[in-house]
Amino acid sequence: MTNSLTGHFLIASPHLADTNFYRSVVLILQHDSEGALGVVLNRPTDKTIAQMWELLDEGPCDNQQPIYIGGPVAGPLLAVHTDVDYGENEVIDDVCFSSSKPIVTQIIQDSVRPCRLLLGYAGWGSQQLDDELEAGGWLVLPATRDLVFSEADDLWHRVADKVGMDILTSTITPKVIPDDPSMN
């Protein structure tokens, strides 16, 4: 098994054949010898948390953040958030995830702190993620709080660019790397 990728982004490479993950950015929540669990961060739906809360008859909620599709595997609502007091598991500093209904309810009603509410998740069995990494299906980057809660629209491009810059800077040692490669 590769070292644990908990707290890392998986960035879908163009070589990944699974259409469920086309241009996706996955935050790995847990990774050990038994497998991996993550959530896709850049698949917002057109439904808000408030609309879903109304459908579930959970009482009033004015949280207008979108609900995200966390992955192809059905499961409980998951919240990725910054409230360590309610964090069931801390993924990286100041970024946690929770799935128990009372905690998710509390996080949703406190819409002041950054959070993402996700339906479903991405899961890999033992050695499955390692095989996909070896086949070139994913690029890996340590996750940051800012990127976890940033706009989903161009998240794949931003993290893929960051991976590209990391690769470039580790292989060459120029005095200045321009932001725009056409300036070379």
**Residues sharing a CB contact under 8 Å with residue 172, sequence separation 6 or more, in sequence order:** none
Q: Would you state the pLDDT for residue 59? A: 74
Q: Would you state the pLDDT for residue 171? A: 41
How many CB atoms sit inside 10 A of residue 123's CB? Answer: 16
How many CB atoms sit inside 10 A of residue 134's CB? Answer: 11
Per-residue pLDDT tens over the stretch 80-95: 999 888 888 999 999 9
158 lies in some domain? yes
1 lies in some domain? no
How many CB atoms sit inside 10 A of residue 178's CB? Answer: 9
2 lies in some domain? no
Query: How far is residue 82 CA from its own chain's centroid?
Result: 14
3 lies in some domain? no
| CATH for 71 | 3.40.1740.10
Q: Using 50, 70 and 90 to split pLDDT, how confident is the model at 108?
A: confident
**Residues sharing a CB contact under 8 Å with residue 69, sequence separation 6 or more, in sequence order:** 40, 43, 44, 45, 118, 119, 120
Query: How far is residue 68 CA from its own chain's centroid?
Result: 10
Q: Domain range spanning residue 173?
A: 8-183
28 lies in some domain? yes
176 lies in some domain? yes
Q: Using 50, 70 and 90 to split pLDDT, how confident is the model at 169?
A: very low
Q: Using 50, 70 and 90 to split pLDDT, how confident is the model at 172?
A: very low
Give percent of the chain above pLDDT 90.
52
Instruction: Identify the helix (H) or strand (E) that includes residue 131.
Output: helix 128-134
70 lies in some domain? yes
Higher per-residue confidence, 20 vs 172: 20
Per-residue pLDDT tens over the stretch 21-65: 999 999 999 999 999 999 999 999 999 988 888 887 677 788 888
Q: Would you state the pLDDT for residue 176? A: 58
pTM above 0.95, yes or no: no
Counting the structural domains of the chain, the total is: 1
12 lies in some domain? yes
